[in-house]
Amino acid sequence: MIQKRNPIDLLFSVITAGASFMVILLVIGIFAVLMKESSLSIERFGFIKFIITNEWNPVTEVFGAAASIFGTMVTTAIALMIAIPIAIGIAIFVTEIAPDFMKGPIGAAIELLAAIPSIIYGMWGLFTLAPIMSKYIEPQLQKYLGNIPLLGALFEGTPMGIDLLTASVILSIMIIPFTASISRDAFNLTPSVVKESAYAVGATQWEVVRDVVLPYSKMGVFGGIVLSLGRALGETMAVAFVLGNNHQITASLFNAAATITVTLANEFTEADKDVYLSSLFHLALVLFMMSFIVLAAAKFLLFKAERRSNV
């Protein structure tokens, strides 16, 4: 005998299913709008040629995304390299080392850092961090690292504070709370009996963190890194204040550059020609696809890692 479903349960299932499919429809809708609006640019420049072309010149109506893609990838990569060790260190301290009376205030400070609007970060970066970088940090980096073969190319030029390095530092500060908060929650899920067993056989605190806590919670930590990666790829205002808007691929971290989001924010109101506006939509489409591919790849790696750990 087939049991009849409760009408309330059926309604609940329909509502939740509708909300789930709405997300898919929104993604498809955004993609369709970007494709439609960028069709003129795709027709004139081609998708691949647009990606590999470095020139961005509204006067001659020649547009390419290579410099903006380069700036986006460099600032994101450097920000992650700075933020991930600091964030994981914060999470380890809060969960394993700090006394109980310090855990609450530090946790609240981390969450407050995540709640600060990006434009505040940008203003602080422009008026406080950029002068510090140009007067103290960047000259020292140039002095001690500038003469090293190959590595020295990263620190050529005049330290101005409005450059790739400063933008990356600002971005790293913005994404630290996301990785730190999720890593902290993942570390807290490690069973106490497992850690106590490790201590009982003579393991040190570092060995417990390295051999018990980190392996047990690595999926959660990776999830926090992926979330931070998505935030870094799409950040606009904070980066716009301290990056400049120079559409050039440069080897030095002391030069101004451009990212996709900064270009869109700075130039959308100036797009007075159809091909210019279409090229900006084309740039947005490239960012949309970059984000989708990077996050999908990260999700795939996470899925494979979970399967290996469950075997």
Determine the pLDDT at residue 85: 94
Determine the pLDDT at residue 310: 63
Q: Is the pLDDT of residue 1 over 50?
A: no
Q: Is the pLDDT of residue 302 over 80?
A: no
User: What architecture is the 38-310 domain classified under in CATH?
Assistant: Orthogonal Bundle (1.10)
Q: 256: left (phi > 0), else alpha (psi -120 to 50), else beta?
A: beta
Neighbour-count burial of 43, counting CB atoms closer than 10 A to its CB (0-12 exposed, 13-18 middle, 19+ buried): exposed
Q: How high does pLDDT run on average in the chain? A: 89
Q: Is residue 126 very low, low, confident or very high in pLDDT (cuts 50, 70, 90)?
A: very high
H runs (alpha helix) in 116-151 = 118-124, 130-132, 138-145
For 43-59, the pLDDT digits (tens) are 999 989 999 999 999 98
Kindly state the percentage of the chain with pLDDT values over 70: 97
Q: Is the pLDDT of residue 5 over 80?
A: no
Q: Is the pLDDT of residue 203 over 50?
A: yes
Q: Is residue 40 very low, low, confident or very high in pLDDT (cuts 50, 70, 90)?
A: very high
Residue spans per domain, the chain: 1-35, 38-310
Please tell me the distance from the alpha carbon of residue 30 to that of residue 109, in angstroms, as a whole number. Answer: 35
Q: Residue 5 has what DSSP assignment?
A: P
For 237-287, the pLDDT digits (tens) are 889 999 988 898 988 999 999 999 999 988 888 888 899 999 999 999 999
